Structure 1
Amino acid sequence: MRPSARCLAQALASTRSHSVSFIGLGRMGSPMAYNLFSKTLVENEGSARFVVCDARTAVSEAFAADFAKQFPGTQVDIANSPEEALMASQTIITMLPSTPHVRAVYVESGGILPALHKLPKEAVHATLCIDSTTLDVETARVVSSDISKIGARLVDAPVSGGVAGAKAGTLSFLVGGTKTAFELATPTLERMGKNIIYCGGSGAGLAAKICNNLVLGVQQIVVSEAMLLGQKLGLEPKVLASVINSSTGACWASSVNNPVPGAVPDKSPPCERDYDGGFATRLMLKDMGLAINIAETTKTPLPLGTAANEIYAEVIEDDPDAAEKDFSAVHRYLRLLKNKDV
């Protein structure tokens, strides 16, 4: 005899309510998942179940093995699809590269939305999705609407703080969604970040993130220009950075992510590792594109944003390997630039 919907819901609730799934184990997702899982273990005195899912199975396997080594006796299950991750947990966090990946994970076959239709109503209503991807606002709102129509909840919760913030658990989460969904998501977000900021309804978190990264993208270029000019004028990078960071030019792009090796000896910016391990230039180019697209829709002038977008595109065109380097590698591009007008 097939179990009734109520019996099935009770069976799912007994496992899903104690389980958290994390989808997307990239540069940001992996340390975010580690902090979430480890702090959940502590807060629940070891009583928790974890599931990971990534398009690269080897990455999921490596994460699960590493976590088990650091927390013996703890099992991290591997889901082969977003549907499996959804079936296993009532709280699902997604950290994906961009809009197409969000559509694939949430909407397409084997994704979260189709899977929700297979669950009993009680299980659907208990489901909370947190998407920390930076994507276009309209797509986020459409996906959120589709999920809420079924009876589940979703918040857009993009982050600020970079890879260093993800590892340290000090990220800022910019959250959009209903107040109820925000309140439900807050305990989970607090295990991965320091500042949890409610920005408004669906898409508001993404709008705030796009505006923030517009500022960041422009700042990183002008800091690179200033550091290059200062060196040409005979200033030591460490001295110039100290002046900027204690004066009106102070910003994260200089004080933390300074693009010149040795300029901020108390930090370890990507430039110290040949620009490896930071926020990829291709992702900054994507975010600048998001800002430009929404600016066109709202008829908002972005002269500096448009210029910055063109420069990041040139960085990648000039050196395709720079696409995966931290976006502060724009300094190297400018330093090597010859006979070309930026």
Structure 2
Amino acid sequence: MRVSARCLQSALPRRHTVGFIGLGQMGYAMATNWLTKRVTDPNNAGVEGGFVVCDMDTVRAQSFADTFNATYPRANVTVASSPADVAAISGTFLTMLPSSPQVKEAYQGSTGILSALRSLPEASAAATLCIDSTTLDVQVAREVAKQVKELGAAMVDAPVSGGVGGAKAGTLSFLVGGAKEEFTRASPILALMGGRIIHCGASGAGLAAKICNNLVLGVQQIVVGEAMLLGQKLGLEPAILAGVINSSTGACWASSVNNPVPGALPDKAPPCERDYEGGFQTALMLKDMGLATEIGASTGSPLPLAEAAEVIYTAVVKEDATLARKDFSSVYKYLERAAEEGWAIKVGK
């Protein structure tokens, strides 16, 4: 059921109501863990509160609400029409969105979170905690956090590491940026969705750590694809080569968990075993590589491998648009096709 903020405000205590904005693959799984653990915690028995969700795909949001209300009648899951409605009736809420433009719209737009915070009583604004788990430009994150804090509310950036699998399992790592007291407030909530919660520093520090981590990951995934393809050309079985890499100095997550070659990990089920579905999308990795190279340029930090990786992921998406929505390990398919058709892959001038 979609209801107005006014109706929700009259029905649920704000301090006990939480919200989630953005129900994509990651957000849906994170919200599922948060809500499930919230409603099954015996310490919450008798607490009157609700769980408010919001997504551009209203059908998906309604499906989430219907599913949980049927499973847990006391869950009180409702669908809000806008981020402003979520902020108006939720004392704590989390945003998990694609990138910078969506975060700016969710916070700064005409029906955004800032507009709701401006209309709240001072005490209610001061009791509000905003958590953003989007991977976005550090400067945008700091700008939004500054605006939130000017209105009296608290905010942390808390991007995640662990992928869709970690989101479903509730084992994500949260890389948190914000003041120590804000980190302390956010930690119990993040613990419902993750296994590790790391305070990286002041506002924007969580994002800085996430972008650096994904820079490493994006480059590694390409290199693992190159090595696996070369090994097969030299007559090695994928499982044999993967076993060598994973027990030697080349060991890394991109090979031991997200190996791009079917059959390379017989005891695991990486995205390549289901046609690269259900993982971290190539388009999102391309976005993250772009964030890294932009920051590298603005800070004067040389990133030759990140720049090369950005060129390659751009080519992957351009050559086969279907790979944009598949797991980024599908870069292997691009390399494989280049080998079959004799393409020269150029990454520099």
Output the TM-score relative to the length of structure 2.
0.93
For the residues of structure 2 that align with 1:317 and 1:82, how far apart are their CA atoms?
A: 33
Give the letter for the 1:144 counterpart.
A
* Residues 12 and 50, structure 2, Cα contact 8 Å, conserved in 1: no
Give the letter for the 1:230 counterpart.
G
Decide which of 19, 22, 44 is 1:21's aligned counterpart: 19
The answer for the alignment partner of 2:195 in structure 1 is 194
The answer for the alignment partner of 1:312 in structure 2 is 313
For the residues of structure 2 that align with 1:64 and 1:46, how far apart are their CA atoms?
A: 20
Q: Give the deviation of 1:74 after TM superposition.
A: 2.6
The answer for the alignment partner of 1:32 in structure 2 is 30
Q: Give the deviation of 1:289 after TM superposition.
A: 0.2
Q: Percent identity?
A: 60
For the residues of structure 2 that align with 1:299 and 1:272, how far apart are their CA atoms?
A: 40
| 1:28-67 paired onto structure 2 within 5 Å | 28-43=26-41, 44-45=44-45, 47=47, 48-67=49-68
| 1:46–1:264 CA distance, 2 compared to 1 (3 A) | farther
Q: Give the deviation of 1:152 after TM superposition.
A: 0.1
Are 1:327 and 2:325 matched, yes or no? no
| 1:293-312 paired onto structure 2 within 5 Å | 293-312=294-313
For the residues of structure 2 that align with 1:73 and 1:157, how far apart are their CA atoms?
A: 28
- 1:138 aligned counterpart, secondary structure: helix
* Residues 170 and 194, structure 1, Cα contact 8 Å, conserved in 2: yes
Give the letter for the 1:17 counterpart.
R
* Residues 155 and 182, structure 2, Cα contact 8 Å, conserved in 1: yes
The answer for the alignment partner of 2:70 in structure 1 is 69
For the residues of structure 2 that align with 1:68 and 1:317, how far apart are their CA atoms?
A: 42
- 1:154 aligned counterpart, secondary structure: strand
Moved over 2 A (4+): 11-14, 45-48, 68-75
The answer for the alignment partner of 1:5 in structure 2 is none
Q: Give the deviation of 1:233 after TM superposition.
A: 1.1
- 2:119 aligned counterpart, secondary structure: coil
For the residues of structure 1 that align with 2:198 and 2:10, how far apart are their CA atoms?
A: 32
Superposed CA deviations along residues 286-338 of structure 1, whole A, max 9, x for unmatched, are: 00000000000110111110000000000000001111010000001100112
For the residues of structure 2 that align with 1:154 and 1:136, how far apart are their CA atoms?
A: 16
Q: Give the deviation of 1:42 after TM superposition.
A: 2.2
For the residues of structure 2 that align with 1:70 and 1:332, how far apart are their CA atoms?
A: 41
For the residues of structure 2 that align with 1:111 and 1:18, how far apart are their CA atoms?
A: 21
| 1:113–1:13 CA distance, 2 compared to 1 (3 A) | farther
For the residues of structure 2 that align with 1:14 and 1:335, how far apart are their CA atoms?
A: 55
Are 1:220 and 2:218 matched, yes or no? no
Q: Give the deviation of 1:46 after TM superposition.
A: 6.5
Give the letter for the 1:239 counterpart.
I
For the residues of structure 2 that align with 1:89 and 1:158, how far apart are their CA atoms?
A: 21
Superposed CA deviations along residues 269-294 of structure 1, whole A, max 9, x for unmatched, are: 11111111110100000000000000
- 1:197 aligned counterpart, secondary structure: strand
Superposed CA deviations along residues 204-249 of structure 1, whole A, max 9, x for unmatched, are: 0000000000000000000001111111111111111111111111
| 1:1-342 paired onto structure 2 within 5 Å | 15-43=13-41, 44-45=44-45, 47=47, 48-337=49-338, 338-342=341-345
- 2:75 aligned counterpart, secondary structure: coil
| 1:45–1:263 CA distance, 2 compared to 1 (3 A) | farther
Could you tell me which runs of 5 or more consecutive residues in structure 1 were left unpaired when the two chains were aligned.
1-7
* Residues 18 and 89, structure 1, Cα contact 8 Å, conserved in 2: yes
Count of equivalent residues: 333
Superposed CA deviations along residues 7-29 of structure 1, whole A, max 9, x for unmatched, are: x9xx8897111111000000100
Q: Give the deviation of 1:73 after TM superposition.
A: 4.1
* Residues 13 and 123, structure 1, Cα contact 8 Å, conserved in 2: no
Q: Give the deviation of 1:143 after TM superposition.
A: 0.5
- 1:250 aligned counterpart, secondary structure: coil
- 2:45 aligned counterpart, secondary structure: coil
Could you tell me which runs of 5 or more consecutive residues in structure 2 were left unpaired when the two chains were aligned.
1-5
- 1:117 aligned counterpart, secondary structure: helix
| 1:46–1:232 CA distance, 2 compared to 1 (3 A) | farther
* Residues 33 and 170, structure 2, Cα contact 8 Å, conserved in 1: yes
Give the letter for the 1:339 counterpart.
G
For the residues of structure 2 that align with 1:329 and 1:65, how far apart are their CA atoms?
A: 34
* Residues 12 and 123, structure 1, Cα contact 8 Å, conserved in 2: no
For the residues of structure 1 that align with 2:266 and 2:197, how far apart are their CA atoms?
A: 30
Give the letter for the 1:28 counterpart.
M
Q: Give the deviation of 1:87 after TM superposition.
A: 1.2
For the residues of structure 1 that align with 2:74 and 2:116, how far apart are their CA atoms?
A: 30
Tell me how large the CA RMSD over aligned residues is: 1.5
